[in-house]
Amino acid sequence: MRNNTVWFIPVAVIAILVILATAFYPAYNPKPKAIPVAILNEDRGMEMQGNTTNIGEKLVDKLEENNNSAIQWEHVENRTALDKGIKNNDYVGGIVFEQDFSKNAMSQAQSIIMTEKQKEMKEKVEAGAISPQEIQILQKQMEKGVQVQTPKQAHIEVITNQGSQTQVANIVQQALTKITAQLNDQISRQNAKLLATNNINVPSNQFEAFAKPIKVTQTTLNEVKDHQSNGNAAAVMFLPIWLSSMITAVLAFLTFKNRKKLLSHNAKLWLASKTVISIVIAAFLGAFSYVAYTGNVLGFDFNQPFETASYIAVAIIGFSLLILGFMVWIGFPAVPIFMLFVFFSMQLAILPVYLLSDFYRAYIIPWNPFYHYVATLKGLLYDGQSFALNGTIWMFITFSLVGMISLVTAIYTKNNKVEAV
């Protein structure tokens, strides 16, 4: 019968591989979906042939009608709302149409038409083909028309917030670059059509300006610098910090497990206190040493080394005490349980949220501690966010309190059971 257990080995291997394959499911075919990009249309429109037209508004409508599941367009009312939304990571990027977009977009064609009309009228006047009364009428009509200034390129500003969302920001950058190229082509065609309607050819010396009526300005916020892991540092730091938390908890549990019989209240309280204090000291020493080594020896460029190290220390304390809180009751089986949980959560640390499935976004992200841990770490590493008492810090405070309460309860209730073993 004993020899038959050897056949359990392939079954166990298959089961492990299937479980781990399922855990890494989100990474097999990630597709960008519903990436929020802000649209700010400041275009005031223009008067053309007695009618008001707003090219920026029309282009915005076309963008929204375009069936692109990767981009989710979000209207903003002003520049303040746009900047605030990008700062809060509500938008990965934005596209801004300037106030004189319509006027400048058509200025090249309007300038050519007006020049040709004036030239034509001058030739007719010199030839005596029209009377002085007709000249006055034509002049009044032209005064009522659009007074075209020096031709200018229309301006579109494309903004991407690289920072903690480098991979998604690059996707948005590529999409917006393609979109602005298409808009350039559309405006160029409209200008060409307007000239054709007036039987005017494009002057050869203006062909390049005519082909590119839009000037696109690229603005990258929180740009990832050299020696910053191409924006992936939070994912790279995930396992080292988690494993250090796990090891800290295991060592603390061994101290708890091998404790002597505690008869007095003070002895029990002192064991709980020194266990927690040792974890806190280990967390801060480890976190600051880790950041110092990673920055000074490995060459990583920390924007906020002190804040980052402090946050990592708080994370180690929270994770360690939570794991310890389980281990004092169920022992070492808590380790594989937590490791399995880590495997199923790892893709939340590696993949941007906009590459995850709707199921993960709706049902896993809101409660998963690893996602919130990594998201806050990204903000410290790349977005210039401050180390503040936010939701993630409160999460770690809760973990710490749960772990400490569990530890104290176990010390008071399991003392005799441990001695009997």
Nearest to 402 by CA among 309, 336, 328: 328
Question: Domain coordinates of the chain in residue numbers?
Answer: 35-221, 229-420
pLDDT for the residue 3: 63
How large is the angle between the packed helices 369-378 and 305-330, nearest 10 degrees?
170
- How many of the other CB atoms lie within 10 Å of CB of 392? 22
pLDDT for the residue 88: 86
Superfamily of domain 35-221: abc type-2 transporter like domain (3.40.1710.10)
- DSSP class of residue 295 equals I
pLDDT means per 10 residues, the chain with 421 residues, are 70 82 76 88 78 81 77 89 89 90 76 63 61 65 55 87 85 87 81 69 60 84 86 89 95 88 80 94 96 94 94 97 95 92 83 83 87 92 88 96 95 62 35
- pTM here? 0.81
The span from the CA of 159 to the CA of 179, in Å, is 13
Angle at Cα 379 formed by Cα 377 and Cα 383, nearest 5°? 145
Contacts of 126 (CB under 8 A, 6+ apart): none
* Encoded tokens for 390: 């936010």
Tokens 């007695």 sit on residue: 50
- DSSP class of residue 78 equals S
pLDDT for the residue 418: 43
Angle at Cα 38 formed by Cα 33 and Cα 40, nearest 5°? 155
Is the Cα torsion angle 287, 290, 293, 294 positive or negative in sign?
negative
pLDDT for the residue 416: 47
